[in-house]
Copies of this chain bind each other. A is one copy, B any other.
Amino acid sequence: MNIHSLKTTDKIPEPTLRRLPWYLSNARLMKENGELYISSTQIARELGMDSSQISKDLSYVNVNGKPRVGYEINEFIEILEHILGFTEIHKAFLFGVGSLGGALLADSGLQHFGLEIVAAFDINPQIVGKEINHIPIYHTDEFIQKMKEEKVHIGVLTVPINIAQEITETMINGGIQAIWNFTPFRIRVPESIVVQNTSLYAHLALMFNRLNLNK
């Protein structure tokens, strides 16, 4: 198998992309348990999902199953990791070393999924010049210079909401192409810029609301 020949630039629908990590983690578990093959039917049973949904999702991924036995498990894992971008290291800069920003710097787990935060930026003199988890923290003014030194496409946004838009624009002007936005602020960006919103607070709100309904 030559994974470089895969057409990974085909547009995979977002709901499918959200489900693929479930299939991947399921396959990793089954591999740990000694399985050599994996099928949509098995994944469906394990995850309590409809197997036709899984087959449809996997049709976007160039993985070839054998009738009756299913997909060869190592190939299945390799292809999914490749499609999901976890096999390549993507360098990132983080903006805003507050409580959440500091926590993300401390989370080495991100690197196993392809994200390496190579530096962080803040303006607080108490933390500029320090390191967290061996990641250096620079003054925000040094960002443009650091962009010249490192090939970074991704910016992680963990600043207070009152400067979220301003820092977004700083990032884009410096050449950042994708923003992982952890703020509950809806940032405005040109169409060419990728934004992934991960507001822990919005997720909390959803959970609290559903929990109250059950009371």
Contacts and interface: CB of A to CB of B under 8 A. Distances in A.
A13 B154 CA distance: 32
A66 interface: no
B208 A85 contact: yes
Interface string A23-67: 011101100100000000000000111000000000000000000
A145 interface: no
User: How many of these chains are in the complex?
Assistant: 2
A156 to B, nearest CB: 10
Nearest to A207: B196
Interface in A164-182: 177-178, 180
Interface string A8-26: 1101101001101110111
Contact of A205 (B85, B108, B153): B85
Contacts of A208: 84-86, 88, 90, 114
A212 interface: yes
Which of A98, A180, A196, A199: most chain B Cβ within 10 A? A196
Interface stretch (A68-76, A99-107, A118-126, A135-143): A99-107
8 contacts: A25-B185, A26-B186, A85-B208, A85-B211, A102-B106, A178-B210, A180-B207, A196-B207
